[in-house]
Amino acid sequence: MSTCPQHIVDYMHEYLDGDITREHEQQLKKHLQDCSTCTQHMHELSNTVAFVKSAAHITAPPHFEREVMKRLPKRKNSVGIQNWFRRHPIIVAAAVFLLFMSASLVGSYQNNEFSVTKQPNLLVEGQTVIVPEGEVVKGDIVVRNGDLIIEGKVEGNVTVINGQYMASSAVVTGEIEEIDEMFEWLWYELKTIGNNFVGLFQ
């Protein structure tokens, strides 16, 4: 064996791997015919391979699949929620719509700027709006973040948001509303949108 070149053993392994070239195979065969030590080596290697290959086929225990499924991390019911969404598209759409609506309304509520409906002959002093005595305002008045004092006459609705309405001898032909709470205000906004919407068809 010590006299044989190392590449002969390499050829044996190439042969066993099934990727030996034709020249190498011929050299190997030629060498094996003359060398009993290498023939013995080749024989032992083939037996080794046959020995390992005779290993019995092993199968997983019967409960294996169930055990794996038990060990999987739980998926927070995402399938259930998805299915619910799929089954109730209108509710989902309505919920999304309301969410955006209220978000934009609340957003505008937090805007604390003073504002008043533009009408001629209204007197504005700081954050107080005055309808002077003897004057007649034709149309609605909306005051945001400010007070309203009416000493004259208003031919229309009066709305005060986040402020006080003061009237001594006032004459208001329409409705008078004072809004302080967020939800009341929301309700008012929705009503306005609703009225405008209905108005479109009239």
Partner 1 sequence: MDALVNKRIKQVLKGDQNAFSDIVSLYQHKLYQICYRMLGNKHEAEDIAQEAFVRAYINLHSFDQKRKFSTWLYRIATNLCIDRIRKKKPDYYLDAEIAGTEGLDMYSQLSSNDQLPDDVVEQMELQDRIQYEISRLPDKYRSVIVLKYIEELSLQEISEILDMPLGTVKTRIHRGREALRKQLNNL
Q: Which positions lie near partner 1, rule CB under 8 A? A: 10, 13, 16-17, 19, 41, 44-45, 47-49, 51-61, 64-65, 67-69, 71-73, 75, 78-79, 82
124 token code pair: 């504005």
Is the CB of 50 or the CB of 200 nearer to partner 1?
Answer: 50
Scanning the chain, the segments in alpha helix (DSSP H) are: 6-17, 22-34, 36-53, 64-71, 78-87, 89-109, 182-201
Q: Give the chain's radius of gyration (CA, Å).
A: 46
Is the CB of 45 or the CB of 176 nearer to partner 1?
Answer: 45
CA distances (Å), origin 75, targets 78, 79, 81, 86: 6, 8, 11, 18
Closest approach of Cβ 66 to partner 1, in Å?
Answer: 9
Closest approach of Cβ 32 to partner 1, in Å?
Answer: 16
Closest approach of Cβ 18 to partner 1, in Å?
Answer: 9
Is the CB of 80 or the CB of 132 nearer to partner 1?
Answer: 80
Closest approach of Cβ 73 to partner 1, in Å?
Answer: 7
Closest approach of Cβ 102 to partner 1, in Å?
Answer: 30
131 token code pair: 């309808």
Is the CB of 73 or the CB of 126 nearer to partner 1?
Answer: 73
- 136-138 and 153-155 beta bridge pairing: parallel
Count CB-CB contacts under 10 A for residue 42.
20
Closest approach of Cβ 174 to partner 1, in Å?
Answer: 56
Is the CB of 13 or the CB of 138 nearer to partner 1?
Answer: 13
Is the CB of 64 or the CB of 187 nearer to partner 1?
Answer: 64
SS (H, E, C) 80-104: HHHHHHHHCHHHHHHHHHHHHHHHH
